[in-house]
Amino acid sequence: MKSQTLVKVLGVFLLAVIAPLVLLAVGQTRTTNRLPQAKNRPASANTDDYKISGPYTHNNLAVFLIHGKDKLAGKTFLTLQEALKQRKVIVYETKNVNELAIENLSRYEEVYVQSGDIVKGGQQDRMLGVDLVVPPRSGKISIAAFCVEQGRWQKRGNEESTHFSSSTERVATRELKIAANKTKSQGEVWSKVAEAQSKLSANVGMRVNNTASDSSFQLTLENRQVRETADAYVRALAHIADKHADVLGYAFAINGKINSADVYAANALFRKLWPSLLKASAVEAITELQKNQKFDPVSRNEVGAFLDDAEAGAATEKDVTKRIQMITRESKVNILLETRDRSASGPWLHRSYIKK
């Protein structure tokens, strides 16, 4: 009898001690689960999503490939270059320096436009200021732009003044990207174009400004000496992604310093854009060329840390269209521009990382 009483007493004692502890633990677990996540923060860190290979180097340019899971399997886009060449899209001059209009004429194909693409012609050459997906039979859609040719405001040669004939080049230099995407200053864009032209002239051994339009960055990129010098970089590095079906993007360093990175939701989209991306990186490497200088190599871990830091930055949102949203993240030293397509299954379409 005494033993039964003792057991009951012990049972009551244990229940009194353990029950509050269990409730406390459950309460703590629920509180943890309710902690808010950063708005639009990627679900996992960069190092969980990507594998980085490289560096692959030529002169002062080091390229890293970024591997990951394809988020848009089976979905394809025409690039702006392809669509203009096939006459499936028209980019219209609006006579507003910082705004153009674009129309997709095709019946079925979507057109992917990337911030930094240069369109040639019109009243002035422009660089497009945002990423955009233009649906089939879109009608005219406004798109932000920056002039990369100061002074001209008339037809040039045999080009059309009412629309733009081609898009074969991208803006080169980190400073130009920052001017267009962070400060959004037309004056700063012109200043950085002139600075790039001056550096290119010094490093290729001839004046690269074209007499047809002295300030045109497009015509500078068409300069024979610039093309030949950039082609040496392209020939050395163009093949590096050929054997990898999981490459989604790349990062690059110039003179031993991380510069930028671009990552896409699909391997097919990256492969279409790779030639123009690599050429732009090559042109920037030529711009910053320091002959006979040696640099400490950048490591894959440093590239991963660069991507992670940019992704952790404070976020702001902007609707480009009803379909396309731009998320800008900025840390003390890096910027991430993330393009989201609300109609796609993946969380993002393109990420552009820029070292300040």
Domain spans in the chain, listed from the N-terminal domain onward? 46-289+298-355
What confidence score (pLDDT) does residue 41 get? 33
**Among 121, 278, 288, residue whose Cα is nearest residue 198:** 288
Residue 282, helix vs strand vs coil? helix
The 10 Å Cβ neighbour count of residue 127 is 26
Span 152-175, pLDDT tens digits: 888 888 888 899 999 999 998 999
d(CA 296, CA 305): 17
d(CA 285, CA 266): 26
Q: Would you list the DSSP string of 20-82?
A: HHHHHHHHHHHHHHTPPPPTT--SS-HHHH-EEEEEEEETTEEEEEEE---SSTT---EEHHH
d(CA 145, CA 201): 26
State in Å, rounded, how far the first CA of the chain is from the last one: 80
What confidence score (pLDDT) does residue 19 get? 42
Q: Give the ranges where 107-180 is alpha helix by DSSP (H).
A: 174-178
What confidence score (pLDDT) does residue 26 get? 34
Q: Which helix (H) or strand (E) holds 350?
A: strand 350-355
Span 284-309, pLDDT tens digits: 999 999 988 889 999 999 999 999 99
Residue 263, helix vs strand vs coil? strand
What confidence score (pLDDT) does residue 308 get? 96
What confidence score (pLDDT) does residue 45 get? 37
Beta strands per DSSP E along 157-304: 164-170, 247-254, 257-264
The pTM of the full predicted model, rounded to 2 decimals, is: 0.84
Between strands 111-113 and 78-79, the pairing is parallel
**Among 273, 261, 286, residue whose Cα is nearest residue 205:** 286
pLDDT averaged per 10 residues in sequence order, the chain, 356 residues: 42 42 35 30 47 97 96 89 97 95 97 96 94 96 95 87 93 91 91 96 96 93 97 98 94 98 96 97 97 91 97 95 95 96 85 97
CB–CB of 303/64 below 8 Å? yes
d(CA 197, CA 203): 10
d(CA 50, CA 137): 36
216: its two tokens: 């045109």
What confidence score (pLDDT) does residue 207 get? 97
d(CA 314, CA 11): 53
